[in-house]
Structure 1
Amino acid sequence: MNYLKDLAERVGSTFIAGFLAALVANWTGVIPSDWKAWLLTGAVAGVASVVKGLVAKGVGNPDSASLTKR
């Protein structure tokens, strides 16, 4: 169960980081967008985090979503 908690924490924080990055980019005028683009950016980042976590389970410590072997 530690693996799933670890993966969920990483995916959640990555989603929030992606969402906020898109939101700030819109607020500053760097990338004009709307709420759908903010959610999509967060979702794509979250999916990438899930894939990374699944790869890490096979490469690193099977009890963690990290690529390190510890």
Structure 2
Amino acid sequence: MSDTPFPLPSTETVIKGAKTYARDLAERVAATFLQAFVGGLVLTTPFDIGMWQAAGVAGVAAAGSLLKGLIARWRDVTHSASLAKGV
């Protein structure tokens, strides 16, 4: 039994969990940006809107992905940026 009434995880476990979460979230945000950017370029080319507008749309999509990942972390303490249970 532990001497404290609230057993805490080891420091190594916390650091590994934070690294796993950060890597997962960074991958999701980068993937969202690239997908939105390519999609934006495909849609803006015929309408002659421009690459910078496509990058702006991709940035908004990536920011949404970042916010979703932070909400997932706040909602359920896991090492994933997913809102799905058990991921």
What TM-score does the superposition give when structure 2 sets the normalisation length?
A: 0.71
- What do residues 8-38 of structure 1 show as CA deviations (whole Å, max 9, x unaligned)? 00000000011011100023x2x43111111
Instruction: Provide the residue aligned with 2:7 in structure 1.
Output: none
Work out whether 1:11 is the aligned partner of 2:24: no
Stretches of structure 1 that go unaligned for 5 or more consecutive residues are: none
Work out whether 1:62 is the aligned partner of 2:78: yes
What TM-score does the superposition give when structure 1 sets the normalisation length?
A: 0.87
Partner of residue 23 from structure 1, selected from 41, 46, 54: 41
Give 1:61 shift: 4.7
Aligned pairs, how many?
68
Stretches of structure 2 that go unaligned for 5 or more consecutive residues are: 1-18
Distance 2:42 2:53 in 1: 12
Query: 4+ residue stretches of structure 1 with deviation over 6 A?
Result: none
- What do residues 45-70 of structure 1 show as CA deviations (whole Å, max 9, x unaligned)? 11000000000112235210000221
Indicate the structure (1 or 2) with the bigger Cα radius of gyration.
Answer: 2
Distance 1:61 1:68 in 2: 12
Structure 1 contact 2–63 (Cα < 8 Å) conserved: yes
Distance 1:47 1:16 in 2: 12
